[in-house]
Structure 1
Amino acid sequence: MNAFAGTGVLTRLALRRDRLTAPLWALVTGGLVASGPGSLGGLYDTPAARAELAASMTANSSMRAFYGPVYADSLGGLTAWRFGTFAAVLAAVAGLIVVVRHTREEEETGRQELLSAGAVGRRAPLTAALLAALAVNTGAALLVVAGLAGQGLAGALALALAVGGTGMVFATVAAIAAQLTESARLAKGLTAAALGLAFALRAAGDAGDAGGNSPLTWLSPLGWTVHVRPYGGDRWAVLLLIAAAVVLQTLLAYGLAARRDVGASFLAARPGPATGRLSGAGALALRLQRGALAGWGTGFLLGGLVFGGMAEGAADLVGDNEKAREIFARMGGQQGMTDAFLATLVSLFGLLAALYAVGAVLRAHGEETSGRAEPLLAAPLGRLRWAAGHLLPAFAGSALLLALSGLGLTLSYGRDAGPLLGASLAQLPAVWTLAGAAVLLWGAVPRAAGAAWGAAGLCLALGWIGPALDLPRAVLDLSPYAHLPKLPGGPASWTGPLVLTVLAAVLTAAGLAGLRRRDLRF
């Protein structure tokens, strides 16, 4: 049989399964970049203002670490500087999720073994997953070109290829990780760790070298995205480096896949102890989720340490630009610029914490659909008690993450622990509301449980780019984060958080009630 037999069918199946999430990822990634010229043009509407911004950002090491150097002060160049790296990160996340979902997750659930019993070649599943990731990144790249074509087609194409190419670099990293590990969770964790390391290398290199020529940035695929320099010289040769990485990593993934059986891996899981050491369903759930919690916690602490040191440079970011100050005011409140910047960071950590909470809730849904919950519930174990074991890491774990981000901000900024720690924990009601919505979908409408990711993604988009686009207040109010006080520095009104906390409790209770009444896996 041809090693690629059945690739077309599996690719269509993958795209059908991702028919909602794939366009959303492409739209968010491409739309983020496409919104750049309009928002930046409104803020810096003269060449002198844009030149001043470029000079001040290049001179600020903290801002270089966050966004990278500025290579051109045109609207296209500033858009590439402001949004290019983050668009590449979004493309990378989309790539790793799609590839792991259609490779290791399929094997973990047993569906791949069933499909492979038909006329399916050995390389078809991996090829289909990579083609699905390519489709997502191609869609995002086309939106980037469409959004920036008015600023210059060559620069728009360079940025689009850099963003889409970076997404495929990490898609192929995920393909390798899927061959090495036995679980989809670990494959995603390894790829996410590689992405975090790439960002850290790029940030360290750009912070130390204003010209962007540090060897550290050349070690990072995200650094390659910056080195393409869209609108600032358009270094097309760097795209060959990205293409070479994609090809070599794809060949390595194919080589590893050919040397293992379906369901097997190169990094075997450690055998468990001879006698059980878990005291109950809650301990089992915590053990299953501890790796994810540890990884997220490390990221939140390091993120707080990195971004807190940028607070003093917030005033340099906006200078005397009143429109920029208005955006920070909409995102972080009407207080002083430093406090508004810190409030914006706190809100960003709150948005990211919701992604963890939703994922932790849906881990219980995964245990159910994979059939691992049935043996537990066949014992004298009630559904609510079993579910509570998974909900505790979701709700308490999100509180721990926000506390760690507040601690990191405090240590790097040098402020007393109270204000920033309290401001971070004030994001909890909104995080718990989205987690409660995930519980409701899982418990009452399990087939639509994945829509919880859409709700979290919508809130992330509204909180991140909504204020920059000056969306109507009625639209911004769709996010629970719009009803939280802007801390630190803003007035501490607790009506909104109290209402959100009650709403989160109601949603969670309704979801658990639905779980009690329905059959498992339905």
Structure 2
Amino acid sequence: MTAATTAPGAPAPAGPAAGGSALAGTRTLVRFALRRDRIRLPVWILALFLGTLATADSLRTLYSSPEDRANAVRSMDSPAGLAMSGPRHYLDDYGFGSMLSHQMLGFTAVLVGLMSVLIITRHTRAEEETGRAELVRSTVVGRHAHLAAALSVAVLANLVLALLLALGLAGAGLGDGGTAGSLLYGSAHAAAGLVFAAVAAVTVQVTAHARGASGTALAVVGLAYVLRAAGDSVGNGALSWLSPIGWVQRSYPYVDDRWWPLLLCAGFAAVCAAAGFALSTRRDVGAGLRPERPGRPTASDVLATPLGLALRLHRGMLAGFGAGLFLMGAMYGSILGDAEEMLEGIDEIQEALDRLGGAGVAESFASMVMVVLAVVAAVYVVMAALRPRSEETAGRAEPLLATGLSRARWAGGHLAVAMGGGTVVLLLAGLGFGLAGAASTGDGSLLPELVGAALAHAPALWVTAGVAVVLFGWFPRASRAAWIVPVYAFVVGYLGQILRFPDWMNNLSPFGHVPRLPAADMDWLPLLLLSLVAAGLVWLGLTGFRRRDLETK
């Protein structure tokens, strides 16, 4: 007979407490999530806050006189202008506050939605995918604690952003609406963020993968924006009321100051959050409600290659960015025919367009838009180029590299998809821009011009991928610093043209050396030099990856 003994004073085995709360451990998980996001969340919040204040200040400069604001009303009072901004009611009293709400609220609501979705997926589905959630839940942690903690962090982040916006805009003295308008403007952002955080609480229950969950939730964000844009452009209020972004815009900060549309956001968020908690009880930890589709009995010959495997892993994100950039290009192209009328009388923008080469307004405006499309493509490139780092930290790279597969071939497959896929999404963006632009202007020659202008940014994308692979190869813990490249390119390449940043700042960005087609003439030398720089960075990054230790599990 044997007997098990326990040493005096030894702690009892950890496990779920009998009859314990399903929310047990939520407070600890909230603290842990805030600790992990101590850099990420402040960057998000400060970027949105400072960007809004900078926009409010620039609106004062661009539309300083009543005549300038009257010109802005005429330029925005068109289907294309309303689709890109918001409902027409703002134009009835177009002061600085209503102008800020009209032009910025719908756009920043998308960014707040992106922040909220990433918070939820990072602290729920990503934790399950890596196996950390199962380990944590083996202790005294309730079944709903992870989702409750993630939602709590999202609520806190959105409330902090709302408070900063309210205080900052009230201090800026927009002059129409005062403190009440500023408080409503900030609260509208929080309401939009909570809606999309709750949507993500549902999508993380559906799929077993963090990328799929975030992709589905971001598709809902995109659908909300499209519904709002379509409804406002044709004056169909019913269509706009189907969108949470339409709800927050119809609170009309600085115009009517209506709070009740935010109650719709609160109610919808509560319903979605409750659905997320309910659905989480119908699946196992690490699994999704949607069953995994069984694969083929044997892998294809293409899948057995590093490039084929990388393409299989990236295909969903590549398809999403391709479709999104095509639609984004088409939206910008649809207003290309109205560009001259929209920008008429805005001296600062006219001067910025003149600095691009002195071509026609449509061509100059197209070259500015091309920077935006290229930066969005660069976002895909950075995400794809950093995928090897995710594979390494998740422990999936180690068994592959334990075979005869070399590090250079494995990482090179992901890099080839990043660089090649970035070029493809640029092509689709240029195609959508060109087709819609040619239709809106009646000039068929714009199609090849705009497609060529988009492809001219490909070497800058390759440099962006090169920077990411250098960080991955030599400084893997700092690899996320690659995000600086697209963010900086947008700030100096797009906003810098309007706010008159010095030229040397634009020269620090690879996108600053791309010829501003179709406004400027083609120059092949910068593109050749960018391609050589990209090749050198790729070689340097792969060399570092071959020499450093692999992070193992």
What TM-score do you get using the length of structure 1 for normalisation? 0.95
Q: Distance in 2 between matches of 1:23 and 1:476?
A: 26
Q: Verify the 8 A CA contact 2:158 2:190 in the aligned structure 1.
A: yes
Q: Verify the 8 A CA contact 1:32 1:465 in the aligned structure 2.
A: no
Q: Distance in 2 between matches of 1:146 and 1:485?
A: 41
Q: Which residue, 37, 58, 61 being the options, matches 2:56?
A: 37
SS state at 1:450 partner: helix
1:234 maps to which residue? 257
Going from structure 1 to structure 2, the CA distance change for 1:464 and 1:164 (only over 3 Å counts) comes to farther
Q: Distance in 2 between matches of 1:329 and 1:508?
A: 36
Q: Distance in 1 between matches of 2:95 and 2:263?
A: 26
1:168 maps to which residue? 194
2:227 maps to which residue? 201
- The residue identity in structure 2 corresponding to 1:399 is T
1:216 maps to which residue? 239
Deviates more, 1:15-24 or 1:507-516: 15-24
Q: Distance in 1 between matches of 2:551 and 2:146?
A: 25
Going from structure 1 to structure 2, the CA distance change for 1:8 and 1:478 (only over 3 Å counts) comes to farther
Q: Verify the 8 A CA contact 1:327 1:467 in the aligned structure 2.
A: yes
SS state at 2:386 partner: helix
- What is the deviation of 1:170? 1.0
What TM-score do you get using the length of structure 2 for normalisation? 0.90
Q: Verify the 8 A CA contact 1:177 1:191 in the aligned structure 2.
A: yes
Q: Which residue, 360, 366, 385 being the options, matches 2:384?
A: 360
1:140 maps to which residue? 161
Going from structure 1 to structure 2, the CA distance change for 1:378 and 1:262 (only over 3 Å counts) comes to same
- What is the deviation of 1:502? 2.1
Deviations 1:366-386 (A, max 9, x none): 111111112211221111111
SS state at 1:488 partner: coil
Q: Distance in 2 between matches of 1:247 and 1:420?
A: 45
- The residue identity in structure 1 corresponding to 2:311 is L
Match status 1:20 vs 2:39: yes
Matched residue count = 517
2:79 maps to which residue? 61
Q: Distance in 2 between matches of 1:174 and 1:334?
A: 46
- The residue identity in structure 2 corresponding to 1:119 is V
Q: Which residue, 47, 70, 76 being the options, matches 2:66?
A: 47
- The residue identity in structure 1 corresponding to 2:329 is G
Q: Verify the 8 A CA contact 1:6 1:124 in the aligned structure 2.
A: yes
Q: Verify the 8 A CA contact 2:87 2:250 in the aligned structure 1.
A: no
Q: Distance in 2 between matches of 1:226 and 1:37?
A: 17
Q: Verify the 8 A CA contact 2:45 2:157 in the aligned structure 1.
A: yes
Q: Distance in 2 between matches of 1:82 and 1:471?
A: 22
- What is the deviation of 1:460? 2.9
Q: Distance in 2 between matches of 1:236 and 1:246?
A: 16
Q: Which residue, 330, 334, 340 being the options, matches 2:364?
A: 340
Q: Verify the 8 A CA contact 1:33 1:84 in the aligned structure 2.
A: no
Q: Verify the 8 A CA contact 2:24 2:140 in the aligned structure 1.
A: yes
- The residue identity in structure 2 corresponding to 1:234 is D
1:301 maps to which residue? 326
SS state at 1:108 partner: helix
Match status 1:4 vs 2:34: no
Going from structure 1 to structure 2, the CA distance change for 1:361 and 1:264 (only over 3 Å counts) comes to same
2:8 maps to which residue? none
Q: Distance in 2 between matches of 1:360 and 1:507?
A: 16
Going from structure 1 to structure 2, the CA distance change for 1:373 and 1:391 (only over 3 Å counts) comes to same
- What is the deviation of 1:109? 0.6
Deviates more, 1:332-341 or 1:369-378: 332-341
Q: Verify the 8 A CA contact 1:108 1:182 in the aligned structure 2.
A: yes
Q: Which runs of 5+ in 1 are unaligned?
A: none
1:154 maps to which residue? 180
2:11 maps to which residue? none
1:264 maps to which residue? 287
Deviations 1:58-90 (A, max 9, x none): 2x1101111123513111111111111111111
Deviations 1:175-216 (A, max 9, x none): 11111101111111111111111111111101101xxx5211
- What is the deviation of 1:122? 1.5
- What is the deviation of 1:333? 4.6
Q: Which residue, 436, 451, 466 being the options, matches 1:421?
A: 451
Q: Verify the 8 A CA contact 1:34 1:143 in the aligned structure 2.
A: no
Q: Verify the 8 A CA contact 2:489 2:512 in the aligned structure 1.
A: no
1:484 maps to which residue? 514
Among all aligned residue pairs of Structure 1 and Structure 2, give the percentage whose two residues are the same amino acid.
42
- What is the deviation of 1:470? 3.0
Q: Distance in 1 between matches of 2:139 and 2:496?
A: 48
Aligned pairs for 1:126-137 within 5 A: 126-137=147-158
Deviations 1:253-310 (A, max 9, x none): 1111223221011012101111222232221111111111111111111222221111
2:412 maps to which residue? 388
Deviations 1:457-496 (A, max 9, x none): 3333333433333333333433222222111121323343
Q: Distance in 2 between matches of 1:432 and 1:505?
A: 8
SS state at 2:265 partner: helix
Q: Distance in 1 between matches of 2:271 and 2:56?
A: 35
- The residue identity in structure 2 corresponding to 1:236 is W
SS state at 2:163 partner: helix
Match status 1:274 vs 2:274: no
SS state at 1:231 partner: coil
- The residue identity in structure 2 corresponding to 1:106 is E
Going from structure 1 to structure 2, the CA distance change for 1:2 and 1:394 (only over 3 Å counts) comes to same
Match status 1:89 vs 2:124: no
SS state at 1:35 partner: helix
Match status 1:506 vs 2:525: no
Q: Verify the 8 A CA contact 1:426 1:484 in the aligned structure 2.
A: yes
- What is the deviation of 1:517? 0.9
Q: Distance in 2 between matches of 1:466 and 1:168?
A: 32
Q: Distance in 2 between matches of 1:148 and 1:466?
A: 22
Q: Distance in 2 between matches of 1:90 and 1:283?
A: 33
Going from structure 1 to structure 2, the CA distance change for 1:119 and 1:472 (only over 3 Å counts) comes to farther
Q: Distance in 2 between matches of 1:178 and 1:88?
A: 21
Q: Distance in 2 between matches of 1:467 and 1:138?
A: 33
1:115 maps to which residue? 136
SS state at 1:273 partner: coil
2:435 maps to which residue? 411
Deviations 1:34-74 (A, max 9, x none): 1222111111111232133124312x110111112351311
Q: Distance in 1 between matches of 2:162 and 2:536?
A: 41
What CA RMSD, in Å, does the superposition of the two structures yield over aligned residues?
1.7
Q: Verify the 8 A CA contact 2:74 2:342 in the aligned structure 1.
A: no
Q: Distance in 2 between matches of 1:101 and 1:473?
A: 38
Q: Verify the 8 A CA contact 2:459 2:527 in the aligned structure 1.
A: yes
2:503 maps to which residue? 473
